[in-house]
Amino acid sequence: MIKRRHPISLFAKSAVRLFGGEAGAGLLLIAVALAALVLANSPWAAAYHDLFHNALPWTPVARLTNLHLWINDALMAAFFFVVGLEIKREVLDGELSQPAQRRLPVLAAVMGMAVPALVFLWVTRNVPALARGWAIPAATDIAFAVGVIALLGKGLPPALRLFLLTVAIVDDLGAVAIIALAYSAGLDTMWLAAAGAVLASLAALNRFGVKHGLPYALGAIALWFCVLHSGVHAAVAGVLAAMTVPLALDRQGESLLLRMEHVLAPVSAYFVVPVFGLANAGVAIPLALPQGPALALPMGIALGLLVGKTVGIFGAVFLAERSGFAPRPAGASWLQVAGLSALCGIGFTMSLFIAQLAFPASPDLVEEAKLGVLAGSLLAGLIGYAVLRLAPRRV
């Protein structure tokens, strides 16, 4: 008897075969970002904008009135659900499960978020209204960074790539915390209480040993709906729901969390994130650079990503090794650490996402922020690639 495969699983396997794993996801995202930029600066710019921002003729959720909102507030919740699954796996049974293993990635991620924020605040210090954007350059886009590393081919120390992945995981956790704490407004206690009840129900499923995926999926949707109306950004619901999925093995020797991650990770990488990139990376490039205060926002973001990330992460590794707190990645030269630190300045997905949250009532500021994200990410990617390409492959 031939076992039928779930359509989502078939899509995931086909995507992996077509594009080649994580590297392919990064390369696909690069292509989508370029396509969005071309569309936004072409004769089809108005149609591109209308596709995502015009009101839908009908919507099942009143708060989500256009395609752009559905992508940012609903589809991205699925992305954060996958992020949550990955974080839980790594913390409980992965590279972040042992104190000695997580020392350097945690320190590097914290400094890699703090220093870009400080750079941004310093550059924009004369325009107080821009302070809400402090977190925009604090994020790293793992798909883009891995895609750039894929272009380098073999030869980099495996520990260097592992370091990038673990830093990105901690970075994602920090970004979720920032979204929950810094970009929540107008909290509705009734909806928060409902969200708490749903979350408690999901935790109870785990506690009583439920290993079937459907109850968790339905609970995650209910939690998303409650959080969407609570004033906390709905993306947080994805991570919270993922934390309730059991990692322990069932009677068949399988883990529900690992099964979910195996099926959903390619869907997130090859569908959710590219769709988000297509909807958000399109920005009209001005013929001349902004002047005066208008330059502060894109400049602060670009320098935060390019300079802040490089200084923060490289500085963390340097201080950790010199102080004996933790060694640098095995087999990596200081030049390779510098190149990887620069690659972490590719913000893209999370930076664009936070930009929407930082200035929800100011479309012009969001567009300026996009310019900074794209410019900083492009320069960080090019410089990181060049440094890693020129660095000797053996210490």
Determine the pLDDT at residue 191: 96
CATH code for the structural domain at 21-56+68-390: 1.20.1530.10
Determine the pLDDT at residue 293: 67
Handedness of CA 85, 89, 95, 97 (dihedral sign): positive
Residues in the chain with pLDDT < 50?
1-3, 11-12, 14-19, 395
CA distance 74 to 237: 10
pLDDT in tens, 330-349: 899 999 999 999 999 999 88
Q: Based on the number of CB atoms within 10 Å of its own CB, is 121 exposed (0-12), middle (13-18) or buried (19 or more)?
A: middle
Handedness of CA 234, 236, 237, 242 (dihedral sign): positive
CB 145 within 8 A of CB 171: no
Residue type, 196: G
Determine the pLDDT at residue 19: 47
Q: What's the whole-model pTM score?
A: 0.86
pLDDT in tens, 225-276: 999 999 988 889 999 999 999 998 887 888 999 999 999 999 998 999 999 9
Determine the pLDDT at residue 102: 87
Closest CA to 356 of 121, 133, 84: 133
Q: Chain-wide mean pLDDT for the chain?
A: 89
CB 276 within 8 A of CB 349: yes
Q: What is the DSSP letter of 331?
A: T
Q: Where are the beta strands (DSSP E) in the chain?
A: none
Determine the pLDDT at residue 176: 87
> E strand or H helix at 204, and its extent?
helix 189-207
Determine the pLDDT at residue 2: 44
